[in-house]
Amino acid sequence: MDLQWKNVLIQSDASILDALKIIDAEGLQIGLVVDQELTLLGVVTDGDIRRGILSNIALDASVLDIMKKSPIVASVETPREELIRTMERSRILAIPLLKGSRVVGLETLHQLFESKKYKNPVFIMAGGFGTRLKPMTDSCPKPMLKIGGKPILETILNRFIKAGFTNFYISTHYMPEQIQSYFGDGSNLGIKINYIHEDTPLGTGGSLGLLPKDLPKDLPLIMMNGDVLTKVDFTRLLKFHEQHKANATMCVREYDYQIPYGVIEGEGNLITSMVEKPVQRFFVNAGIYIVSPEIVASVPENHRIDMPVLLEQHMDLGKQVLMFPIHEYWLDIGRLDDFNRAQADIHTLGVLN
């Protein structure tokens, strides 16, 4: 939250000139018009003032004459990622934060992007063959297939970057040169990327054994499959993991399966119940994990293992493995139908934002 927000409060009896002085002095390009109770009445920007001047409105006129009376606002409890999406979608640089109708803060797009940076390593698994997406993957690794004009992997990276993560590791195997030549060391994105190459496929967990030994000893690592599009809030996920002092956290997604027949239960020859086409609900692995440094260190080099098996091994040792249900958008791009759906979702659901 921008700490200067109280300096851009403008009382309802102020003139346009008063508002102009406040906006110029603070450099936030916005003023919040409030009453004595700090109830938000509207917002005024330097653009509003310029338009007022062009319309021959005198500078000694009331600021109420030029302010936006129904501005875009947000609750003070709105997650950071949602604030960024709202401002980018609405093409605004700042958004007042309210508790009820009362102003309690102001977020700016600049402040959000310059806010907390996370040193936690992020490990993206991008070495798969994408067999089910042939022939598209005959000449292109699946994470580099374009959704909405951008490689899937670039969309994944951008979501982590917007959340404040800067330290990335990418595992490669199939056509690694395409990934490395496109992203390089990550400096063009303002991040650091190191590549972990699997000479032979090691499963979804085996590549952990190839990570450098100098990873932070006190920071959990975030893992994610390189073919998943999601709008999950990574900062909330990390906070959940840390608050519960988990050894590992697996993101899960609710999956409904409708049995296409009537299900009959009975005792002997006696029917005791009949349910027509019942729906069964399960939690399925969403391909996103947070693991402790201890779990990372437990995987030997060049040891093939999948993440569910690895986590089960640690559960058998009494380690705490939690699940984090995600209700946000999530799509595993494994088949052609998923790929086509993602192309539509990018535009209708704003997955790229």
* Residue in 117, 162, 277, 319 annotated catalytic: 277
Q: Rounded distance, CA 234 to CA 214, Å?
A: 23
Confirm if 144 and 130 have CB atoms less than 8 A apart: no
Q: Is 162 a catalytic residue?
A: no
Q: Whose CA is closest to 116, among 159, 168, 80?
A: 80
| Segment (H or E) for 191 | none
Which residues, 6 or more positions from 337, have their beta carbon under 8 angstroms from its beta carbon? none
Q: Rounded distance, CA 353 to CA 349, Å?
A: 9
Rg from Cα positions in the chain: 26
Q: Rounded distance, CA 34 to CA 290, Å?
A: 44
Q: Output phi, psi for 56, to 5 deg.
A: 65, 30
Q: Whose CA is closest to 227, among 166, 308, 306, 288?
A: 288
Residue in this structure with the two tokens 């920007």, named with its chain if needed: 45
Quote the distance between the C-alpha of residue 198 and its chain's center: 27
Which residues, 6 or more positions from 184, have their beta carbon under 8 angstroms from its beta carbon? 193
Helices (H), 27-94: 46-54, 80-90
Q: Helix, strand, or coil here: 26?
A: helix
Catalytic residues: 277
